[in-house]
């Protein structure tokens, strides 16, 4: 398939991040549809698999990068009300909290062409987590620190570090 040899970091074939539009935009419609269908099936299957081959916190960036959008993937996760999907959410928050608390996208993006686009993706992800994660974290019995991390994401950046439940150290 065209473009599958390039890594999400933009390495391979001499490409640098943001150098060209995502290669999937150059694919013929049937090929693009097949990749999209595969990614959706893989994503839904992974969210319901207790120990997936690719962790959710790695697969979500891959799907978002391949499609140049994060919203559809978050919508699938939101619709899957299942203890396994909730556990993956807790694990993902745990994995990404440091970057997100510093207002950074928790992966190196190759589909965005500007800081503003990266900020839009991070903002969409963070807003979804603030809205969606609290109840699901409670359902998993996640540690209180994860609950506080999600709550802190809803605060302006400067206010996070004044909160009594802010991490003792700054990330970055």
Q: Could you read off the pLDDT of 24-80 as tens digits, one per residue? A: 457 788 998 999 999 999 999 999 999 999 999 999 999 998 888 999 999 999 999
Plot region of 26 (φ>0 → left; ψ -120 to 50 → alpha; else → beta): alpha
Q: In the prediction, which pLDDT does 6 show? A: 39
Residues 142-164 pLDDT 10s: 999 999 999 999 999 889 989 99
Lowest mean pLDDT among 16-20, 46-50, 72-76, 91-95: 16-20
Q: In the prediction, which pLDDT does 147 show? A: 96
């Amino acid at each position: 398939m065209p473009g599958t040899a390039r890594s999400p970091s933009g390495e391979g074939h001499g490409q640098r991040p943001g150098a060209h539009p995502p290669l999937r935009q150059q694919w013929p419609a049937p090929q693009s549809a097949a990749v999209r269908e595969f990614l959706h099936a893989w994503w839904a299957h992974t969210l319901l698999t207790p120990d997936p081959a690719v962790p959710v916190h790695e697969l979500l960036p891959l799907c978002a990068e391949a499609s140049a959008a994060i919203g559809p993937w978050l919508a699938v996760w939101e619709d899957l009300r299942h203890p396994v999907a909730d556990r993956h959410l807790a694990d993902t928050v745990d994995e990404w909290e440091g970057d997100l608390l510093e207002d950074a996208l928790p992966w190196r993006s190759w589909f965005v062409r500007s800081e503003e686009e990266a900020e839009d993706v991070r903002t969409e992800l963070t807003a979804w987590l603030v809205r969606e994660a609290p109840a699901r974290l409670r359902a998993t019995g996640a540690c209180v620190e994860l609950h506080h991390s999600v709550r802190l994401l809803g605060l302006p950046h400067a206010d996070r570090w004044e909160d009594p439940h802010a991490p003792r150290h700054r990330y970055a």
